[in-house]
Amino acid sequence: MSGENWVEKARLFAHDRLAPLSEGIEREEGIPPEILAEMGRAGFFGLTIPREYGGSAASAQDIAGVIAAVSRANLSVATHLAVHLSVAAAPIASWGTDAQRARYLPRMATGEWLGAFALTEPWAGSDSQHLTSRYASSPDGFVLDGAKTFITNGGRAHVVLVFATRDPALEARGISCFLVDHGTPGFSAPRHLDKMGLRGSETDELLFENCRLPRESLLGKEGEGFKIAMTALEGGRIGIAASSFGAAQAAMDVMQSHVGPDDEDWKKRALARGYVDMEAAGALVERAARLKDQGADYGMAASAAKLYASQAAFRIANAAVDVAGPGAAGRLFRDTRVLTIVEGTTEIQEFILGRRLAQADLPSRRSPAR
Ligand SMILES: Cc1cc2nc3c(=O)[nH]c(=O)nc-3n(C[C@H](O)[C@H](O)[C@H](O)COP(=O)(O)OP(=O)(O)OC[C@H]3O[C@@H](n4cnc5c(N)ncnc54)[C@H](O)[C@@H]3O)c2cc1C
């Protein structure tokens, strides 16, 4: 154990440094570079990276606490951090060769290099088994062709995990994952997407045209890409759930600062509903992160936390607009809408949970894991 109190450190940073800049980050549609540099120096970009590569290998509970604290101040900054940690650095740490880990992780741990994750395509979002981006073997490696959309930090990241299929007919079995460096010929990011919320977080379209990759760019084995993506997303769901909990706290902060003892009852009831929703979300996040730390199967807990917390955050932000008005709560309302979409929509979480719950031999049918 490093003995570092990550959550307290993140709370202080979020409160003192980030919160005052939050409205500006939305208005300017970007995160000040000095804030990212500070986060790098604080060690936040290395939380999912092993110590031998300069990270801190923090617990899932600490990482969730950090993401929640940052989200309470600003969801765009939290998204920037959470994607790098959960679906870029963590899969490289888990699936990378020694050479890949040595090349990427030390610089990702300091935040000098940022990671992105490119699964979604214009015609394959939830249905991610049916990718159309193609790769083929070449004498010196691979050639990649295709397009990705909605990729957080895709155009500015130093390394992007890109998922492509050898043959669409193979569905999940045909998918492999490649580490594509920024600046690789044939790789471009032609367009930033204009979003209703989360405007401080960059979301890009990516294009791969006759993009030649060395053999060493393959992450894991050929055909393991879908498994890499699904494992990364399972962990990432705790991150989105934690973000949602932090956003729910922020919406409660706004409501509480606008409701006093003499205010109407409907406002106090909105506070009461929000409080219960927020506490329930926090408990689900805590449980999923604890199961992950224990090395237990945490997939259902992560889906449940993501499903509930993302909806709770949007409900509370919606109530905050009623209570405090769009000036005070508008950014939260716009930012929280995306939480039910990313890393598996609400319907996809229902699908994952329903499929598992319907299994006759599921151990938790009679005594849910605690
Ligand atoms: C701000 C933002 C950042 C993102 N960042 C990334 C990123 O970094 N990397 C990345 O790879 N992707 C990213 N995404 C993409 C995101 O993961 C997808 O938007 C999401 O998976 C949904 O895919 P889709 O948009 O194609 O919607 P669709 O899959 O077309 O879904 C549309 C609607 O139909 C529902 N639906 C779909 N299939 C079913 C079904 N079988 N049963 C019932 N309902 C269904 C969905 O739940 C949803 O409500 C990002 C998206 C946004 C908005």
Residue 245 Cβ contacting ligand 1 at under 6 Å = no
Ligand 1: centre distance to CA 342 (Å): 6
- The confidence score (pLDDT) of residue 310 equals 98
In the reported structure, the alpha carbon of residue 196 is separated from the centroid of ligand 1 by a whole-number distance in angstroms of: 16
Active site includes 350?
no
Kindly state the percentage of the chain with pLDDT values over 70: 96
92-143 residue pLDDT tens: 999 999 999 999 999 999 999 999 999 999 999 999 999 999 999 999 999 9
Cα(318) to ligand 1 centroid in Å equals 22
Is the minimum distance from the CB of 342 to ligand 1 under 6 angstroms? yes
Burial of residue 204 (CB within 10 Å: 0-12, 13-18, 19+) is: buried
Which residues, including other chains, have CB under 8 Å from residue 170's CB and lie 6 or more apart?
223
- Ligand 1 pocket check for 119: Cβ under 6 Å: yes
Question: Going by C-beta distance under 8 Å and a sequence separation of 6 or more, which residues neighbour residue 146?
Answer: 121, 131, 132, 133, 134, 164, 208
The answer, yes or no, to whether residue 366 has pLDDT greater than 70, is no
What's the pLDDT tens digit per position in 148-181?
999 999 999 999 999 999 999 999 999 999 999 9
The number of helices, as runs of H, and strands, as runs of E, in the chain is 12, 8
Nearest CA, atom 4, ligand 1: 150
Q: Does 337 have pLDDT greater than 60? A: yes
Residue 350: CB within 6 Å of ligand 1?
A: no
| pLDDT digits 0-9 by tens, 203-243 | 999 999 999 999 999 999 999 999 999 999 999 999 999 99
Calculate the average pLDDT of the chain.
Answer: 95
Q: What is 226-360's CATH number?
A: 1.20.140.10
Q: What are phi and psi of 13, to 5 degrees?
A: -60, -45
Q: How far is CA 319 from the centre of its chain?
A: 25
Report whether pLDDT(42) > 50. Answer: yes
Dist CA 38 CA 17 (whole Å)? 10
Please give the number of the atom of ligand 1 that sits closest to the Cα of 126.
29
pTM over 0.85: yes
pLDDT confidence of residue 2: 55
What is the best residue among 228, 341, 343, 349 to mutate for testing ligand 1's pocket, by most ligand atoms within 8 Å of CB? Answer: 341
Q: CA-CA distance, 99 to 117, in Å (whole number)?
A: 20
Q: Could you identify the residue written with the tokens 């610089």?
A: 107
Alpha-carbon distance of 156 to 63, in angstroms, equals: 23
Instruction: State if residue 117 touches ligand 1 by the CB under 6 angstroms criterion.
Output: yes
Q: Would you state the pLDDT for residue 51?
A: 97
**360 band by pLDDT with thresholds 50, 70 and 90:** low
Amino acid 1: pLDDT: 44
Name the E strands within the chain.
115-118, 134-138, 141-152, 159-165, 175-181, 187-192, 203-214, 218-219
Q: Is the CB of 157 under 6 A from ligand 1?
A: no
- Residues carrying CATH 2.40.110.10, the chain: 116-223
Domain 116-223 sits in which CATH superfamily? Butyryl-CoA Dehydrogenase, subunit A, domain 2 (2.40.110.10)
pLDDT at residue number 182: 97
CATH 1.10.540.10 fits 6-114, yes or no: yes
Q: What angle do CA 187, 96, 42 make, to 5 degrees?
A: 85
Task: Please tell me which residue in 216, 343, 347, 350 is annotated as part of the active site.
Answer: 343
